[in-house]
Structure 1
Amino acid sequence: MKISVCIPIYNFDVRELVNDLKKQIQNNSIDAEIILIDDASDDAFKQINNELQNQVEKFVLLEKNVGRSKIRNLFLKYTDGDYLLFLDCDVKIDNKNFLTNYLQEIEENRDVEVVYGNFKIDSAYSKTLRNRYSVEKEIFSVERSSDFLLLKTVNFTIKRDVFEKFPFNEHLINYGYEDFVFAKTLEFGNVKFSAIQNPVIHIDDTSNEIFLNKTETAINSLFQLHQDSENRLFINDIKVYRFAKKIIKTGLKNVFLNFYNLAEKRIKKNLLSENPNLKYLDLFKLGLLLKKIKDQSQNLGSKIK
């Protein structure tokens, strides 16, 4: 059984990550390959990572940025492993048995086709809004689970033939919810899934301001999914989408938006502070989504008239 370690790169130094993986492959005589695809990073990062050209099986440089979904699907073209292990470029390995843990899970649970390994937060950035959100909303603490809602693309392995059948949705070009839609696609396809404790350390120094901008982009992606009736089945379990639907159904959309407009400055001020409140982040996302839905309704009304 061969495993392909797939690392999509964008503006990050992956030398330490690749070297740590290579040591584990060599020390444990693992049948594995490391494939890197750079999604049109800045020249400075291309130069930094260039020394890896002769240290991995393939290092592909894309001329144009293709986004988080399409780049992951591209690994099918450049790999030949029976399983594909996807790692975000901004992670560290701190467990010498990281790769063997995955291999053991695959060997002992042959019916499982997708395994998610979880992640931890680098303590240097633990107080930022981005990482507080991860700790409270994304990282799971149980030893094992089959809940697809836990799946994140930061660290998971998937059987090759399953990935060929259920690739990422390439219509989702921008940041946000591509992992959620991918997970729901697998779940609806009756794929066998397991989440285990085999975490990587996520190194995310995103400022609160940049994370708010990325959150707006994510809500735009969610709204894009909402506009396509075929995609709505995939997003019904997203918390902010569920709340938005309830508010609309009860006829309180305008009431909520009036309140939100009055409180928006205070909400943003808190989220940009050194002690952000995640409840305000929920309100921020809900307000953005309902505004987009309201604007769409008004535009449709104007067209009808």
Structure 2
Amino acid sequence: MKISICIPVYNFDVRKLVYDLKEEIETHKIDAEIILIDDASCENFRQINSELQDRVEQFILLKKNIGRSKIRNLFLKHIKGDYLLFLDCDVKIDNADFLENYLQEINQNQQVEVVYGNFKIDSLYSKTLRNRYSVEKEIFSVDRSSDFALLKTVNFIIKRNIFERFLFNEDLVNYGYEDFVFAKTLEFANVKFSAIQNPVIHVDDTSNEVFLKKTETAINSLYQLSQDSKNEPFIKDIKVYSVAKKIVKAGFKKVFLNFHTLIDKRITNNLLSENPNLKYFDIYKLALLLRKVK
């Protein structure tokens, strides 16, 4: 089998995503399977998605949430394909030839071992802090790139034998930086990478308030990584981490945090508003991390 489509599911209705994928598979007679693993979603979403039980090759329901890294590694126990296509559950297919585009890329460039397809933002939620950040910091605009820093786990395909060698870091149980560390691991191993324009549409309606809480979780994950020196090569290029280290080394940590205390309310009010400023968001993250580092 050529492709195993791997979709970790958590509290999201994935029926439309699965039916669109199945339509392309059947229309173009693509050698592919769809595997769903539900990471202990609430009962409401389990019921909603239960109609897919007989429409996909496997639908595994976990009794306990195991996190973003471990669940992706778990797919290796269930797939048959030579390639794993990972898709986040909160995406929509934007192109009727989505799978065909990936097949064309891996057939024409057989030396490439990982292909990232990019993503778009659903226009309904384009003004939120979370999605403004994606547009300005995460989505790439060139047609093609070999820059591993672009890789996000929302939409990528990887050779099975490569994924078997380089798994996600299971120490990262919570939200944040698992994709960055994964990309760095592959980059250091000289895995052949390509980023192309084959995007999905990300349907993320996360409110600004919830996103700030998720950001705090992400900074906690980053701090956790920083406590083990073996992770330094993987995280040293993360901007908030490198800036925090420079501030601490220069002896300005206390000065920065005192200044932040004076403007904290203004920053938070802005980030919760309908017109959040991403420069304020950078300061917000930096303050979170500096309160932790020594």
**What TM-score do you get using the length of structure 1 for normalisation?**
0.96
Displacement of 1:60: 0.1
Instruction: Find the counterpart in structure 1 of residue 218 from structure 2.
Output: 218
Cα deviation 1:74-101 (Å, max 9, x = unaligned): 0000001000000000000020110000
Instruction: Find the counterpart in structure 2 of residue 98 from structure 1.
Output: 98
Q: Is 2:156 aligned against 1:153? A: no
| Equivalent residue letter for 1:219 | I
Cα deviation 1:27-77 (Å, max 9, x = unaligned): 111000000000000000000000000000000000000000000000000
Residues 79-228 of structure 1: pairs in structure 2 closer than 5 A? 79-228=79-228
Cα deviation 1:259-288 (Å, max 9, x = unaligned): 111111111110001110000000000000
Displacement of 1:249: 1.8
| Equivalent residue letter for 2:213 | N
How many residue pairs get aligned? The number is: 294
CA distance in 2, matches of 1:223, 1:189: 24
Displacement of 1:248: 1.4
Cα deviation 1:2-37 (Å, max 9, x = unaligned): 100000000000000000000000111100000000
CA distance in 2, matches of 1:268, 1:193: 38
SS at 1:11 equivalent? coil
Residues 154-303 of structure 1: pairs in structure 2 closer than 5 A? 154-293=154-293, 297=294
CA distance in 2, matches of 1:44, 1:291: 38
Displacement of 1:168: 0.2
Cα deviation 1:127-149 (Å, max 9, x = unaligned): 00000000000000000001111
Displacement of 1:251: 1.6
CA distance in 2, matches of 1:289, 1:112: 36
| Equivalent residue letter for 2:51 | E
CA distance in 2, matches of 1:96, 1:51: 23
Instruction: Find the counterpart in structure 1 of residue 58 from structure 2.
Output: 58
CA distance in 2, matches of 1:247, 1:97: 48
Runs (4+) of structure 1 exceeding 3 A deviation are none
SS at 1:292 equivalent? coil
| Equivalent residue letter for 1:190 | N
SS at 2:173 equivalent? coil
What residue ranges of structure 2 are gaps of 5+ in the alignment? Answer: none
**What TM-score do you get using the length of structure 2 for normalisation?**
0.99
**Once the two structures are aligned, what percentage of the paired residues are identical?**
76
What residue ranges of structure 1 are gaps of 5+ in the alignment? Answer: 298-305
CA distance in 1, matches of 2:212, 2:107: 42
| Equivalent residue letter for 2:182 | F
CA distance in 2, matches of 1:289, 1:275: 24
| Equivalent residue letter for 1:20 | D
CA distance in 2, matches of 1:229, 1:260: 28
Aligned-CA RMSD value: 0.6
SS at 1:140 equivalent? coil
| Equivalent residue letter for 1:47 | Q
